[in-house]
Amino acid sequence: MKELIRSNDLVFLSYVEALLREADIPHEMADEHMSAVVGSIDASPRRILVTDEDWAHAKEIVDAAANERPGDYA
C-alpha cells in the first residue's frame, strides 16, 4: 500500500473516498483512530492508502479534485 493523501480535512477525505469508490479503486483510511484520539490539535492527520498498482490513477483523481478546491492535499 502506498500513501495517496494525508490531511485533517474530513470533508475532503470523505470526498476523495467517494471518488475512489466511484472509480472502483480499493483504499484504506489509516490513522483514523489516532486522529480522533489527539483531537483538534492536528498532530496526526489521516491518510488514504491505495495499492501500488492503483496509485497513479488514484493520484490523477486526487489532483483533479484538489484543483477544484485548492489546498495542501497532495
- Of 7 and 27, more confident: 27
Spans of all domains in the chain:
2-68
The pLDDT of residue 41 is: 59
Query: With contact defined as beta carbons under 8 Å apart, do 32 and 14 qualify?
Result: no
Domain 2-68: which CATH number of 3.40.50.1820, 1.10.3720.10, 3.30.70.790, 3.40.720.10: 3.30.70.790
pLDDT score recorded for residue 9: 85
**pLDDT for position 34:** 66
pLDDT tens per residue across span 18-67: 999 999 999 999 987 665 555 555 667 899 999 999 999 999 999 887 77
